[in-house]
Amino acid sequence: MSYFNKIILYHKTDKEMIKGYKYRLDPTPEQIVQMEKTFGCCRYVYNWALDLKIKTYQGEKRSLSAVDLCKQLTLLKKDDNHLWLNEVSNECLQQSIRCMDSAFTKFFREHTGFPKFKSKHRNKNVFKNVNSVKFDFENNRVKIPIIGWIKFFANRSFEGKIGTITISKSSTGKFYASVLIDDGIPNPDKFVIDSDTTVGIDVGIKDFAVLSNGQVFSNPKYFESAQKRLGCLQRRMSRRKKGSNRYKKAKHDVAVCHERIRNRRQDFLHKVSKKIVSENQTIVIEDLNVGGMLKNHCLAKGIASASWSEFFKMLQYKSDWRGVNLIRIGRFEPSSKMCGCGYIHRDLKLSDRVWTCPECGAVNDRDLLAAQNIKKFGLEKQNLLSQENINKTPVVNRGRGVAGSSRSCEASKCTGVNWRIIT
């Protein structure tokens, strides 16, 4: 799977989309050496600019802009101790400074973490370039300044204006090129929101996603299935002497295992998100605080393995591609505690997956009920569902009901069937 290119939505505006294409590179040994030099120089310039910016603010109480730092970079490259910076593209070094400046801006405006110095061992090797990038799809190669023409694995071409290209190296030693393309194609018009073409999605750990129409996507749990193998490789690496060839080989095996888990998870998320977007015109999801939920040490591993945030991102940009409406409801809505009759079970525990309503006697599946209520709250937000229809919304059971439940005939007809993806 890593040999094929990937396509993602990187940025969008009201009128156009900027898409990102990712290709696997096949460089020569000489090109690998040059890219490694560029990685190291960009990391050094990033740390140098960050240190200079911090010291200038602490000493002179003023902030250096990206333009000022680029001027200082020109003087730095003339220094006898830093002549090796001239061996790489100057554009890549300037882009590294701009990335550092953007991190500072994001810290003050969006209150994110303070910019950190890049480590040689822990940070991802990456550099960016803007100008003088050419693609030759007939010969499957890309031209990068200083490095030259590099072959890549391609099964998809693109048309449009080339923006920024990012060269990265994975932990397994593979090189990738991510390029931003402005194809000039406007966004499609959004579909008209209708209750019949709307679906609510409730994400979970046991079942990855449960839809309001009864479809169930089981959680493959790729990390849990590979945990035994991963633990064996990690123990093997811990017994090796750091810096030795056997240690490097063991470390590479651990990285390969993690990469396989990541690729399988990404493949699953792409399949599920594409199926949901292609079959519905309106999608309703919860605005979950995934970062806060990860602080729960009992559920953190399961939540991180499910990758809900990545799934929501895929739903967002794929919905924009197809003109599908994506509605987000509040995270504090009683989606799983509210019965179809309107009764709210305040004392419902997380371990209670099936509960009986004391008002109407309906046996409710927690996940499916949450998906149906998410759809209802989303339509209420758009003022498309009257109170009369809300009270008549059937409570669908996924086949876990208790005999003798007082569900209506209409609800019995709408009983969903477990639908699972096999990968």
* Residue pLDDT, tens place only, 307-359: 999 999 999 999 988 889 999 988 888 777 788 777 787 777 877 778 788 77
Active-site annotation holds for 347: no
Question: Is the confidence at residue 407, as pLDDT, over 60?
Answer: no
Phi, psi (deg, nearest 5) at residue 9: -85, 120
For residue 40, the model assigns a pLDDT of 93
For residue 397, the model assigns a pLDDT of 39
Question: Is the confidence at residue 195, as pLDDT, over 80?
Answer: yes
Active-site annotation holds for 367: yes
For residue 184, the model assigns a pLDDT of 80
Co-location of 192 and 332 in the same domain: yes
Lowest model confidence (mean pLDDT) among 47-61, 285-299, 371-385: 371-385
For residue 299, the model assigns a pLDDT of 86
Residue 1 belongs to a domain: no
For residue 229, the model assigns a pLDDT of 95
Cβ-based neighbours of 180, under 8 Å, separated by 6 or more: 10, 11, 18, 19, 20, 162, 163, 164, 165
Identify the residue with better confidence: 384 or 20: 20
Q: Which residues pair with 148 in a beta bridge?
A: 144
Residue 6's pLDDT band (boundaries 50, 70, 90)?
Answer: low
For residue 360, the model assigns a pLDDT of 82
Annotated catalytic residue within 101, 253, 286, 333: 286
Cβ-based neighbours of 173, under 8 Å, separated by 6 or more: 252
For residue 369, the model assigns a pLDDT of 85
Region label for 325, one of left (φ > 0), alpha (ψ between -120 and 50) or beta (otherwise): beta
Co-location of 163 and 209 in the same domain: no
Q: What's the length of the chain?
A: 423
Co-location of 288 and 145 in the same domain: no
For residue 318, the model assigns a pLDDT of 92
Identify the residue with better confidence: 29 or 113: 29
Region label for 111, one of left (φ > 0), alpha (ψ between -120 and 50) or beta (otherwise): left
**From CA 187, how far away is CA 24, in angstroms rounded?**
28
Residues 7 and 310: beta-carbon distance below 8 Å: no
Active-site annotation holds for 286: yes
Annotated catalytic residue within 253, 333, 365, 367: 367
- As for how many domains the chain has, the answer is 2
Annotated catalytic residue within 101, 202, 333, 365: 202
Residue 169 belongs to a domain: yes
Co-location of 51 and 142 in the same domain: yes
Buried b vs exposed e over 25-46: b needs ≥16 C-beta within 10 Å? Answer: bebeeebbebbebbbebbbbbb
For residue 16, the model assigns a pLDDT of 61
Residues 284 and 197: beta-carbon distance below 8 Å: no
Co-location of 408 and 292 in the same domain: yes
Q: What is the mean pLDDT of residues 197-212?
A: 90
Co-location of 83 and 159 in the same domain: yes
Co-location of 113 and 213 in the same domain: no
Co-location of 195 and 180 in the same domain: no
Q: What is the mean pLDDT of residues 117-126?
A: 85
Question: Is the confidence at residue 55, as pLDDT, over 60?
Answer: yes
Phi, psi (deg, nearest 5) at residue 83: -70, -20
pLDDT digits (tens, 9 = 90+) for 247-283: 999 999 999 999 999 999 999 999 999 999 999 999 9
Co-location of 34 and 108 in the same domain: yes
**What domain range is 172 assigned to?**
6-186
Lowest model confidence (mean pLDDT) among 19-33, 188-202, 332-346: 332-346
Question: Is the confidence at residue 419, as pLDDT, over 80?
Answer: no
Last residue within a domain, chosen from 139, 159, 186? 186
For residue 420, the model assigns a pLDDT of 31
For residue 385, the model assigns a pLDDT of 56
Alpha carbon dihedral 4, 153, 13, 166, in 10-degree steps, equals: 120
Identify the residue with better confidence: 85 or 122: 85
Co-location of 341 and 240 in the same domain: yes
Co-location of 166 and 201 in the same domain: no
The whole-model pTM stands at 0.80
Question: Is the confidence at residue 370, as pLDDT, over 50?
Answer: yes
Question: Is the confidence at residue 148, as pLDDT, over 80?
Answer: yes
Co-location of 181 and 195 in the same domain: no
Residue 301 belongs to a domain: yes
For residue 341, the model assigns a pLDDT of 79
Last residue within a domain, chosen from 186, 211, 244? 186
